[in-house]
A and B are shown apart, each in its own frame.
Chain A
Amino acid sequence: MMTAFVARSFDRGATAFLIALAVIAVLVPALNLLVPPASPLHLPTYLVALFGKYICYAVLALSIDLIWGYCGILSLGHGAFFALGGYAMGMYLMRQIGTRGVYANPILPDFMVFLNWPELPVYWYGFQHFAYAGLMVVLVPGALAFVFGWFAFRSRVTGVYLSIITQALTFALKLGFFRNNFGFGGNNGLTDFKDILGFNVQAEGTRNALFAISVVALMLGFILCRAIVASKFGKVLIAIRDAEARARFLGYRVESYKLFVFTLSACMAGIAGALYVPQVGIINPSEFEPGNSIEAVIWVAVGGRGTLTGAVIGAILVNYAKTFFTSGTVVAYWIFGLATLIAFAGVLLYRRSILLGAAIGLAVAVAGWLLAGPLSHVAATLDSPGIAQLAANWPFLAAGAFAVAALATSWQPLPLGAIFGALLFAFFITPFEVLALAPYWLFALGGLFVAVTLLLPRGIVGTLRYWTAGRRDRTMSLAAASAAAEDGVTAAPRAAE
């Protein structure tokens, strides 16, 4: 029964998506651990942790998409469940510090010693055991969601009212966790972690392992969500989203369905938070910030709600953009982000043909990037300014030649793609000043939300699916028309007889 439940979840897109995730789970640690640091393909450890953070956000986005995209429950407080899971993991990590803390107290975390607490509060008991903490990661957000949902759904709080009270929930928790006497480190939260299961959290190996585990968690979460939405349960969720009253009058107990999926989603968010904390090394009350929860909803909107894959892609894209525009840590790698954006823009604006062009253009640029180093090396050894010139401009020459060739064969999308490729490379080799956009990020995010709502209401993945479905319909109706025409052809002589 269970196998049927899971097997139902794999269609072609889902399988491809899972394979892509599996590749990432292996590729990122491999690029970090196996590729020598001197190589341009080497991935620094801080980026592994950063990408791991994106993956945790993707799990959070997935949990939001499950309730919002499929059941119409817009939670603007899902960050609270994420943070609670994070705190549960943080408590375990705090207890692992032991005597290595500033005050060297074997039981009490530093902040408790600092506040002159005589002993460990009861609710901190047991957190030195990983299994217990792991259970709490799921149970605490789940229990809160269950109690909250029980009251909210039973009283039939829906729509914007539900969104507002979820905001209030996360805000209230934030205020609580800010207080020192709440027992969770107050303003500073929990930090200075040392070990997780005996492994140093800062170590390269641990970071890579945490990354891989996060991707596996994302894959499992994705499979679970797919299985749910593909089941009759998922169909009922969609039914509730589309016409709640009809579902009720058909005899479905809407509140139990909502409660089940809401609680499950909160548990997923808790797991995301628990994986997040050891990778970023801190958890504090700002994670409860209402803005965080709204941001998570925007990821889902950008990627396309009700698509699952879209939630993941949206979370990664928007966070990549956030890192890029606000901190500049990934400047050297932004070419990949831009390439993704251009690929999507290409698909969205000009559909498939331009994508091929952009892909070829990008391949040209990347080849240029890889070849420019050796070429300039050759130029240096030969002391030839001509070759140096060539090395610097190689991609432009290649892209230009390519564009001319493509124009000559009048294959329209390819010159465009080649120009994309050349532009990519031009940006890449131009010394790039970090855009000091940090103060404007929230504006940009707001703008993004408005733009997505107005211009791309289905989100990226939703729009793609809509187009493929449209194309399939057109092909089908064309086939039907030609079949009808053939019938007409064969029918005509018979009529003449």
Chain B
Amino acid sequence: MDAKTTTALLYLDGITVSFDGFKALNNLSFMIEPGEMRAIIGPNGAGKTTMMDVVTGKTRPDDGDAMFDGTYDLTSLDETEIAELGIGRKFQKPTVFESHTVEDNLRLALKADRRARAAVLWRESAEERSRVNGILETIRLPAVRERLAGSLSHGQKQWLEIGMLLAQEPKLLLVDEPVAGMTDAETRQTAELLKEINRDKTVVVVEHDMTFVRDLGVRVTVLHEGSVLAEGSIDQVSANERVIEVYLGR
């Protein structure tokens, strides 16, 4: 690998993705600095989820560069390799292992040797147990640790999935609509949770809920038709005329 070309943890430059001629991402460029928390907003079809797909290796861009940590070219790696590099992703729809217990979900997510042979011979260590306990506290689910994940409420599943990301010990967390379908109280708790996580990890949050984004109080990137429309604090972007026009207005 070459020497670092940028200080940014995530560096996207001129990313273009088209599906059957429709440009889901159109010359998209932005950077996330280490330790930052960034909110990405934009109307439906703005390309938020496609952007995450590119970063996590699910979709290969037609054009452009995606660098992680200044050294890794994300466009040439697959999901597993990118996950191993330290990028964790939470899906829009909460995706947990429904027929496993909450604890087992976290155990499976814990950073460890992912190879099949290691999994066959695996036995839980005391350190792993305490890590699971710690994460259960962080995501506020110690009471339901033995329940099957499938029996959790929607909000609890969202938290469990965030907990699984934490267990992975990523450098960068991509969080897709974490408060969709949550009650107001749950939304506030989630904002706190993400802030807590941001203390030592870089976080990118894609969200529709403007009050939630305001609660987070972080730098905002507005996407529109596959490229960046505006960037700045929530107050700056809400004052931007073009943003008002395409998204906030009416």
- Which A residues have a C-beta under 8 Å from some C-beta of B? 1, 4-5, 228, 231-233, 235-236, 238-239, 242-243, 245-254, 256-257, 260
Contacts and interface: CB of A to CB of B under 8 A. Distances in A.
B97 A238 contact: yes
Given A238-B97, A243-B98, A250-B108, 11 more contacts: A232-B122, A235-B107, A242-B97, A242-B100, A245-B91, A246-B91, A249-B88, A251-B83, A253-B114, A253-B115, A253-B116
Contacts of B89: 249
Contacts of B107: 232, 235
B119 interface: yes
Interface in B107-153: 107-109, 114-116, 119-123
16 contacts: A5-B121, A231-B120, A233-B116, A235-B107, A235-B119, A236-B108, A238-B97, A238-B100, A243-B96, A243-B98, A245-B58, A248-B79, A249-B56, A249-B88, A251-B84, A253-B80
A245 B95 contact: yes
Contacts of B121: 1, 5, 231
Nearest to A4: B123
Interface string B148-175: 0000000000000000100010000000
Given A243-B96, A246-B95, A235 B80 contact: no
A235 B104 contact: yes
Interface of chain A, main secondary structure: helix
A239 B98 CA distance: 8
Contacts, number: 81
Contacts of B116: 233, 236, 253, 256-257, 260
B76 to A, nearest CB: 17
A252 B115 CA distance: 7
Contact of B119 (A231, A245, A249): A231
Q: Quick one: which of B79, B109, B116 has the most chain A CB within 10 A?
A: B116
Contacts of A235: 100, 104, 107-108, 119
Contacts of A4: 123
Contacts of B119: 231-233, 235-236, 257
Nearest to B123: A4
B120 A233 contact: yes
Nearest to A241: B99
B104 A5 contact: no
B80 A248 contact: yes
Given A1-B121, A233-B120, A256-B116, A246 B79 contact: no
B97 A249 contact: no
A257 B119 CA distance: 10
Interface of B: 56, 58, 79-80, 83-84, 88-89, 91, 95-100, 104, 107-109, 114-116, 119-123, 164, 168
Given A231-B119, A250-B109, A250-B168, A243 B83 contact: no
A246 B106 CA distance: 12
B108 A251 contact: no
Contacts of A246: 91, 95-97, 164
Contacts of A245: 58, 91, 95
A248 B58 CA distance: 10
Nearest to A256: B116
A225 B168 CA distance: 28
Q: Which of A4, A228, A239, A254 has the most CB of B within 10 A?
A: A239
A55 B76 CA distance: 49
Contact of A250 (B58, B120, B122, B164): B164
A230 to B, nearest CB: 11
A242 B97 CA distance: 6
Contacts of A247: 97, 108
B95 to A, nearest CB: 5
Contacts of B108: 232, 235-236, 239, 247, 250
A242 B123 contact: no
A242 B168 contact: no
Contacts of B83: 248-251
A363 B88 CA distance: 61
A225 to B, nearest CB: 13
Task: Give the most central of A5, A249, A254, A256: most B CB within 10 Å.
Answer: A249
Contacts of A248: 79-80, 83
A232 B98 CA distance: 16
Contacts of B79: 248-249
Nearest to B56: A249
A459 B77 CA distance: 41
A231 B164 CA distance: 19
B217 to A, nearest CB: 28
B84 A242 contact: no
A260 B115 CA distance: 11
B119 to A, nearest CB: 4
